[in-house]
Structure 1
Amino acid sequence: MRLLSVAVLASLLPAVSVAATAQASAGTTYYVDSRGGDDGAAGTSAGTAWKSLEKLAAAELKPGDTVAFKRGGSFAGPLKLEASGTAARPITITSYGSGALARISGADDDCVVVNGSHWRISGLRASNCRWAGFELGGDSNVLSGVEADHNIAGVLVTPTGSRNVIRDSVLTDNNRMSVNDEGGDNDSGAFGVLLNGDDNIVTGNTITGSFARSADYGTDGAAVEIFNGDRNRITRNISRNNETFTELGAQKGKTASGNVFAFNVVTSSRGRGSFLITRGPRHIVGPVKGTIAVHNSVYLPAKDTIGWSCHDGCSPSILKLRNNVIAVGGEAGWEDGTGADEDGGVYQGRTDKFKLGPKSVVADPKFRSRTDLRLLPGSPALGRGVALTPKWYGGKAFGKDIEGKALAGSPDSGAYQH
């Protein structure tokens, strides 16, 4: 497991104000206002703001600079960010004023395209874009407090994108397909986050409505999809009404290894859904090796649901599960081959096809409600978890539950500790 860099650890801290960022970096702050701006102005104060993305694209941004978008504005994309900051002096995008986040849209291109590295991006909404709301192709970038909706992918991390952080953002109804034709088993789309790169962190986000009609599958979509991405950490996210929480795959000759899912809360009122789908070596997009799912809480009450599926040659090298609480109206879990490595879980479903670990149990987990997955007194999940070393949940920095409580003593199963 790789250690977190200083830059990534810093990126997990709360965002700072425009003034504080500018002062700390000693760079120039530029302002953009789609309503009251003027591209002939200096752009260095709210009263002399620029008007267009074209003017911003022509600026030679340097490490330590900040770009502030006025709230309530609207722009036709793309916004292409080609420059690079440094770990000590990132380039920052933020907002000023009041009202809704500045909105970037456009059917002809992805909306916010980050090819540079060491950007800190907040205060933007990307909506109804050609493919992705935010596309991260560089390294060590941070998206925080952004919004993305009605795209094929709310956030896309490309194969060249690595060590990026996507946190504390709202990704809603990214519900369009890029491929949607009959036959071929190839429909693709409706992603909250699509990870094609390595060593990225997806944490603290609310992801809802990632599903769309599919000619091949009826409906399809995922809150967080991983394809050809290694060592990504997906932790402490809230997932509501998505087709599945995560699905993993890799092209033959490529890998999607060592991805970790920890302390996520997954609920849905939809008629079908799943928590985790992964594949063994016999599948066309397998094998997906070394996936770890720990301390997740899942409630999918509809009949056409499954907790987790490890198929086409499942084995402990494909999937390990610890301390999850999974209640579904369909199949609690499914494995073939030698099966997954599972323990410390609480499961409820109409059926199941997997071997329970020594501390696991089939029982009603006693959630507070259909959407509040905290545990009631007397829940079999209380104190049921097995003790884990930090590598299980992505490193010591990630050893906190969905509400920020640290693990201690005999842990509870699920995303909430009591």
Structure 2
Amino acid sequence: MSSTVLVINSGSSSIKYQLIEPDEGTVVASGLVERIGEGSGHLRHTYRGKDTTLAEPVPDHGAGLRRVLELFAEVGPDLASAGIVAVGHRVVQGGARYSGPVLVDEKVLADIEELIPLGPLHNPANLRGIEVARELLPDVPHVAVFDTAFFSELPDSAATYALDREVATRYRVRRYGAHGTSHQYVSRTAAEVVGRPLAELRQIVLHLGNGASASAVVGGRAVDTSMGMTPLEGLVMGTRTGDIDPAVIFHLHRNAGMGVDEIDDLFNRRSGLKGLAGHNDVREIHRLVAEGDAAARLALDVYSHRLRKYIGAYAAVMGGLDVLTFTAGIGENDDIVRSEALAGLEFLGIELDPERNAGRVKEPKVVSTDSSAVTVLVVPTREEQEIAQQTLSLL
């Protein structure tokens, strides 16, 4: 077996992992630990096409990662002989200071902890995952790969909010973005698919999952992105509002008596598609639309309208558009969303081919017509592979 990288993505109550051969992009083994800290946890380990599943308590991330290492020893592959050269960790918030992967040391750990106020939902779990992994795998280097790194060098005009400068500087209020590893991987892969140099392309990447974000990428460099200081800004998402007048917060506080935490919960967990239609699963929304449900139809219209709005805006920011790519769960699997998002954009040179666009997409694919001035692609994202490649490139 060639050199491998163990990629770990620690969430608030979960651990996702993949053992990857970065040079070939091969996933040797993968798994998921869910419901950490709850009464009954769930573990799944996949190796050589076989799933091993367990249901047992997982009290904390330390116990979860120990169980993962036991599964590697029991089911395979044995990490001692798997050629593992490093562990790559996904970290959501790297602030403005990290523009690429970094070798984890005490300074990096302190920085990730200091940035918790900017990533309160993710950085604590990311940090704990790194700490535990370093204890359990002390003989290999550990590398942090930041979601925000791809957007750390946005032009000031895109990164800066029109807020009092002293306040913004003191509290580090600016656009940081998210999903950066996905946008970086997809934009680079899109250039390979169309057979043109990355340096000459103006691209829009639409990462559409339960969380959703758009990016404008010129010559391989991000020049704008829809998520802001937090992942709440931008596109309509599964449970998040996306763009909303900030005065709604004052209105709800003054007139509905809602506190900050309640509004935070409303905007992040009870809005978006779920708030509009009662479901954050787009498949369920499609079913309701087919049954004539007006709320579901409106939810899909609002979702598509926001997408078209960002596509037009980013084409203007870049002075044109060469490639537009859909990715992530909805972007890869939902041909209706792809079609409705691009409806009426023929004036931008976008012509979708209905037959090419039909169905789910598992490999990079062109879904526009041969005569379309803008090439429209679907590219399955491989965030773990990007993390593994960045980890190996750093070493």
User: Which structure has greater strand proportion?
Assistant: 1
Could you say which structure has the greater relative contact order, defined with CA pairs below 8 angstroms and 6 or more residues apart?
2
User: Which structure has greater helix proportion?
Assistant: 2
Structure 1-normalised TM-score? 0.28
Structure 2-normalised TM-score? 0.29
